[in-house]
Each structure stands twice: as structure tokens, then as C-alpha cells.
Structure 1
Amino acid sequence: MSSVLVVGGTSGIGREFARLRAQRGDEVVLTGRDAHRADTVAKEIGARQGLALDLARPRGIAAALAGVGRVDHLVIAGVSRDENRVAEYDIDAALRLVTLKLVGYTEVVHALGPRLHEDSAIVLFGGQAKERPYPGATTVATVNAGVRGLVNTLAVELAPVRVNAVHPGVVGDSPYWAGKPEEVLAGLRARTPSGRLATMADVVDAVDFLLRNRSVNAVELTVDGGWMLG
């Protein structure tokens, strides 16, 4: 049995990963911004505990994680999106997202430092907007590219703890994409060599692999069905 912490585990891919590991019998702690929701989701999926933690408020992260013990596997899946363009730049929105994704992720690792051990493994979430930005992705693309540098520096500083990243493309059944018009999704499928969009189960499997394989370190794993080639 492993001890697993999923930061951003109340919805989407984070929730699906937490559910998988809880079903396997692992001791899972998940976090979300809202304490009641985190507790409710933890009970629904069989996790040990749900905690309130806001990645965009990094000064409160250490206190939020104070009761967490030894961590074998850490997944930081908390994400957010803003619609930000250079021509109409929203500084407050940009600061929130940059803080959440880069400062917040780093502070989680910092706060948990003494509870990691030589066989611990970490997976951070990025995204393919870093390679194929879309209108309004100014900040999203930037922070997802920043995950690359964060993975590398953490892998060096935390050695022998392994640190990897997963970069999903369009995840067709995720909360963000599932509600898009079918013609939009059909167009994306047509430009994907595999002929199908990635699923949350695909990404969960990729995260599990990155945590499990002890020779995979400082790797950025793309899960997009070859979408970047389309």
C-alpha cells in the first residue's frame, strides 16, 4: 500500500486518478479549494481524507498540509484557465494563474520536503497549449512551458526523488472539453492521427506509469494521440 497525495483531486483527471488509487487500496489524501467539497469527494471515492488547499494562495499551503504524513506518490493536478490575450491583458488573472501553477506547485513540494523519501515520485500537470497555443492562451501556454523548467530543477534538487510531468492534449471526456459542440470535437479528432481524442483514463494511466517506473525521471510525457502532428 502506498501513501498518495493528489493536489487538485476533487474533479476531472485529478479525481479519476485519486479514485483509481483508492480502489487499489492505497491510502489517498486529496485536496481541493473548498473543504466541504474535498471531504465529500474523498468519501465518495474511498480516499482517507479531503483537505482544503488553494494553490493560488501559496502562503497557506504549508498549514493546509501540516497533517499529511509520509508521501510516496505526489500528483499535483490542480489547474486553472484564463482567457488572456496580449492585446487585452488582464494582469490580475495572469498573476493568479502564474502563482497557482508555478509558485503554488513549488510550495507544495517545499512544504512536503521532509515527508518525501528516496523512493518517492512526483508528477506535475502541464498541457499542450505550451506547444500549440490558441487565442486567449497567453498565460496558459506560458505556465505550461514553465512546468518543464520546474520538473528539471526539482529532479536535480530533490534527487533521488523522481519528478516528471504529464502534458495532456485535448481530453475529450474531461469537464472542460466534454461540453464542447460535437463539430468542434469532430474537427479535433480529424486532425489527430490516432483518430480519437485522449480520455481521462488515458491520462490517469500515464500518470500511474510515471509514478511507478523507477527509471523514468525528468520526463515530459505527452498524451495527445499524436495531435501535435495533425
Structure 2
Amino acid sequence: MSSVLVVGGTSGIGREFARFRAGRGDEVVLTGRDAHRADTAAKETGALRGIALDLSRPREIAAALGGIGPVDHLVLAGVARDDNRVSAYDIEAALNLVTLKLVGYTEVVHALRDRLHDDSAIVVFGGQAKERPYPGATTVATVNAGVRGLVHTLAVELAPVRVNALHPGVVGDSPYWLAKPGEVLAGLRTRTPSGRLATMADVVDAVDFLLRNRSVNAVELAVDGGWLLG
């Protein structure tokens, strides 16, 4: 049995991962920006509890994590959707996303440093926009590229704690992509060499692999069916 903390576990892939590990008998705690939503998600996924934690408010993170005990596996999956272009640059939205992912993620690790041990492992979520930007991905692509540097420096500073990055491509059955028109998904599927889009189950499996395999460290794993080659 492992102790698992999923930061950003009230929806999407974070929620599915919390459900998966709780179903396997692990002690799972998940977080979300809203206390009620986090508590509800914990009950629905089988997690031990949900706590309120806002990654975009890093000065409050240490207090929010005050009741967390030793952590075997830490998943940093909290995200914010951002449509930002240089031609119409939204500074506040950009600052929010940069703070949430780069500063917030780092502060979570800082706050938990004394509760990690030599066999602990961390997975940090990025995304394939860093390799294939699209109009509106100005901040998303930049921040996801920054995840590479964050993972590398954490792997060095926290050694022997392992730190890896997971970069999903288009996750066809995630809430965000399910809301897209069918023809959009069909076009993306056609341009993916595997002939299928990644699923949330695929991503959950990949996260679990990165946490469990003790020889995988400072790796950036893409889960996209070869989408970048299409």
C-alpha cells in the first residue's frame, strides 16, 4: 500500500488517476481549488479525503498541506485552460498559468520536502503543446516547455527521489476533448500514426509506470500515439 497525493484530482486525468490508485487499495489524498468539490471528488473516487489547494496562490500551499503525512507518490496534475496570443496578450491570464504550474508545482514539492523519502517518486504534468504550438498556446507552450527544466532540476536537488514528466497529446475521451466536434477528433485521429487518440486510461497507466519503475528518472514521456509524427 502506498500513500498517494494527487494535486489537481477533482477532474479529468487527475481524478481518474486518484480513482485508479484508490481502487488498488492505496491511501489517496486529492486536492482541488474548492473544498466542497475536493471533498465530493474524494468520496466519489474512493480517496481518503480531499483538501482545498489553489496552485495559483503559492503562499497558501504550505498551510493547505499541513495535515499531509509521508508521501510515497506525488502527482502534480493541476492545470488551467488558457487561450493567449501575442497579438492580444492577456497578462493576468499568463501570470496565472505561469504561477500555477511553475511556481505552484515547485512550492508543493518545497512544502512536502520533509515528507518525501528515498523511494518517493513525483510525476509532473506538461503537455505536447510545447512541441506543436497552436494559435492561442503562447503561454501553454512556454509553460509546458518549462516543465522540462523543472523536472531536471528537481531530479538533481531531490535525489534519490525520482522526478519525471508526463506530456499527454490529444486525450480523446477527456472532458475537454469530448466537447470538441466529432470532425475535429476524426481529423486528429487521421493524423495520428497509431490510428487512435490517447485515452485517459492510457495516461493513467503511463503515470503509474513512471511512479513505479525505480530505474526511470528525469524522463519526459509523451503519450500521444505518435501524434507529433503525423
TM-score band, normalised by the shorter chain?
over 0.9
Q: Which residue of 2 aligns with 1:98?
A: 98
**Helix, strand or coil: the match of 2:75?**
strand
**Helix, strand or coil: the match of 2:160?**
coil
**Helix, strand or coil: the match of 1:71?**
coil
Give runs of aligned pairs for residues 53-202 of structure 1, distance below 5 A. Answer: 53-202=53-202
Q: Which residue of 2 aligns with 1:18?
A: 18
Structure 1, unpaired ranges of 5+: none
Counterpart Cα distance in 1 of 2:127 and 2:37: 25
Q: Which residue of 2 aligns with 1:42?
A: 42
TM-score, structure 1 as length reference:
1.00
Q: Please give the per-residue CA displacement for 1:85-141, whole angstroms capped at 9, x wherever unaligned.
A: 001100000000000010000000000000000000000000000000000000000
Aligned residue identity for 1:209: F
Question: Which portions of structure 1, spanning 4 or more consecutive aligned residues, are displaced by more than 3 angstroms?
Answer: none
Q: Which residue of 2 aligns with 1:7?
A: 7
Aligned residue identity for 1:197: L
Counterpart Cα distance in 2 of 1:24 and 1:87: 48
**Helix, strand or coil: the match of 2:14?**
helix
Counterpart Cα distance in 1 of 2:43 and 2:185: 33
Count residues with an aligned counterpart.
Answer: 230
Q: Which residue of 2 aligns with 1:206?
A: 206
Counterpart Cα distance in 2 of 1:83 and 1:25: 38
**Helix, strand or coil: the match of 1:79?**
coil
RMSD of Structure 2 on Structure 1 (CA): 0.4
Counterpart Cα distance in 2 of 1:41 and 1:91: 32
| Identical columns (%) | 87
Counterpart Cα distance in 1 of 2:50 and 2:110: 20
**Helix, strand or coil: the match of 2:29?**
strand
**Helix, strand or coil: the match of 1:172?**
coil
**Helix, strand or coil: the match of 2:92?**
helix
Task: Tell me by how many angstroms 1:9 deviates.
Answer: 0.3
Task: Tell me by how many angstroms 1:183 deviates.
Answer: 0.5
Aligned residue identity for 2:87: A
Task: Tell me by how many angstroms 1:221 deviates.
Answer: 0.2
Aligned residue identity for 2:178: A
Counterpart Cα distance in 1 of 2:34 and 2:185: 31
